[in-house]
Amino acid sequence: MTNRSTSNMESTETTTISQSTTTAFSTQTTSTASGSTTATAVSDFSDFDFANGTRLPEKATLSLGNATFRPGSNVAYVPVTLDRPTPNTVIARIITVNGSGTYRAISGYNYQTVDAVVIFRPDDPLVQTVAVPIIGATEGQQFQLKLREVPWGGLQGQSTATVTASSTAQATAKATGTFREPRSFAATGTLQFELLKATHKRSPDGGWDRWATSLANGRTQPGNGETGLYLDSSIFPGIEGPVYWGSSGLVLHSQKLKTPISYGGQTWYYGSTVLDGRNFLASQIGYGQYEWVARMPNRRGSWPAFWLVSTSGWPPEIDVYEGFGYQSYWDFDRHVAHTVHVGANSTRYDQRGVTIQTQQAYGLSGYSQDFHRFAVDIQRDYITWFVDGVETYQSVNPFRGFRFYPIMDVAVKTNSAYDDGSGDMIIRSFKIYSAP
């Protein structure tokens, strides 16, 4: 989870320092008889120097391109382009906007409204087109396409495209090419660990056969803006929870404390909860898959996450799921965040990831209402994230040769009453599969 593994980390709102490097690549362009074009990126980043997990390739820049269509046609194609091969999934949300001036085209009269999601995965062609249905447009009429926000996983280039009806200009052709379908999650490794009530153990600092109820740097994260104390009932008797088996699974319970606790020279009014595998040998793998089945909290100010940290120290870090409940925009039932953090010796050099509105992008939602699967597949070339078995993100793997341990937690970052909705994460299943 972002910035939780060390006490002197920056908050997530702080701009990080990026060490940029350039990856050599080439682009192959193919033209067809119909005028369509395919721009194919040729790069697998196999020659990139990740500097032992401290460096990432440059982000691709996504741009919308101006387009033309013939009056009387029933569709307009608008190009969406990356300037280079992308080392990670890039997602753009694109909407139509009425034109302006004398020749403005209007939604519902001249064209149909489009609210589209465009997804580029690593090794995809560099050009896609958004198809806009045309109802009827005369010479010179125009409308626009715009990016709803900065592309997730990429940089923003031209954010607005003008689409014009023209009988003299060549109509913009539909892009062609082979775009990879999203993967489906499959456990290809050997089952190494399964969370079971009968064998579950935990203690304040953990051990070779048990979870820790603290983080590597302790029970507080004030440098991260967190207001919760990570609790253990053996240290703070009489508190609710914070970890217990309920009828639906293992409950990680966050709370506003009925009686504040004095700890580390500070008074704490909230309780966070964590299970940390830093000393738990069965939870640690280099390559393979982690898969949680869980129901998320929806309480404003809660910060739930499933994340992985290197056994050699933070960073590296891989955030499998993160829920920024302290952010006003965050919707626990529709948003999911995935991130990688690179760096060394308790210093983060760069991070790369996405916050996805998964209902629009993938048709997935309801994470606080029912149980859903959150998984990650770590291979030597790529790390791939999944929700309910559907690939939602992929990144080139900068952490080759590292081993990871898992952390699952609900942090608290608020000064509110902290009493709306549920502050509990319930884990019904957790499995770890190791691969050679």
Query: pLDDT tens digits for 379-419?
Result: 999 999 999 999 999 999 999 999 999 999 999 999 999 99
Using a pLDDT cut of 90, give the percent of the chain over it. Answer: 89
Using a pLDDT cut of 70, give the percent of the chain over it. Answer: 90
Under 8 Å between Cβ of 253 and 246: no
Query: pLDDT tens digits for 49-102?
Result: 999 999 999 999 999 999 999 999 999 999 999 999 999 999 999 999 999 999
pLDDT grade for 3, boundaries at 50, 70 and 90 = low
User: Three-state DSSP class for 223?
Assistant: helix
One-letter amino acid at 174 equals K
- Look at residues 349, 337, 328 and name the one whose alpha carbon lies nearest to residue 385: 337
Count Cβ atoms below 10 Å from residue 427 Cβ, excluding itself: 20
- Look at residues 430, 381, 391, 402 and name the one whose alpha carbon lies nearest to residue 318: 402
- Look at residues 282, 338, 313, 322 and name the one whose alpha carbon lies nearest to residue 410: 322
User: Which residues are 351's β-sheet partners?
Assistant: 341
C-alpha 17/C-alpha 214 separation (Å) is 29
Count Cβ atoms below 10 Å from residue 286 Cβ, excluding itself: 16
pLDDT grade for 2, boundaries at 50, 70 and 90 = low
- Checking phi first, is residue 83 left (phi over 0); if not, alpha (psi -120 to 50) or beta? alpha
pLDDT at 138: 97
pLDDT grade for 1, boundaries at 50, 70 and 90 = low
Count Cβ atoms below 10 Å from residue 252 Cβ, excluding itself: 24
Query: pLDDT tens digits for 190-247?
Result: 999 999 999 999 999 999 999 999 999 999 999 999 999 999 999 999 999 999 999 9
User: What phi and psi, each to the nearest 5 degrees, are found at residue 330?
Assistant: -70, 130
How far from 209 is each of 155, 225, 274, CA to CA, in Å?
44, 32, 16
pLDDT grade for 27, boundaries at 50, 70 and 90 = very low
**40 pLDDT exceeds 50?**
no
- Please give the domain boundaries of the chain with CATH numbers for all domains: 26-165 (2.60.40.2030), 190-435 (2.60.120.200)
Query: How many Cα atoms within 13 Å fall on the side-chain side of residue 316?
Result: 25
Show Cβ contacts of residue 365 under 8 Å, excluding neighbours closer than 6 positions: 333, 334, 358, 359
One-letter amino acid at 41 equals A
C-alpha 329/C-alpha 349 separation (Å) is 27
Q: What is the mean pLDDT of the chain?
A: 91
The 3-state DSSP composition of the chain as helix, strand, coil percent (nearest 5) reads 5, 45, 50
pLDDT at 16: 27
Query: pLDDT tens digits for 96-121?
Result: 999 999 999 999 999 999 999 999 99
Mean pLDDT throughout 131-136? 98
Query: pLDDT tens digits for 319-347?
Result: 999 999 999 999 999 999 999 999 999 99
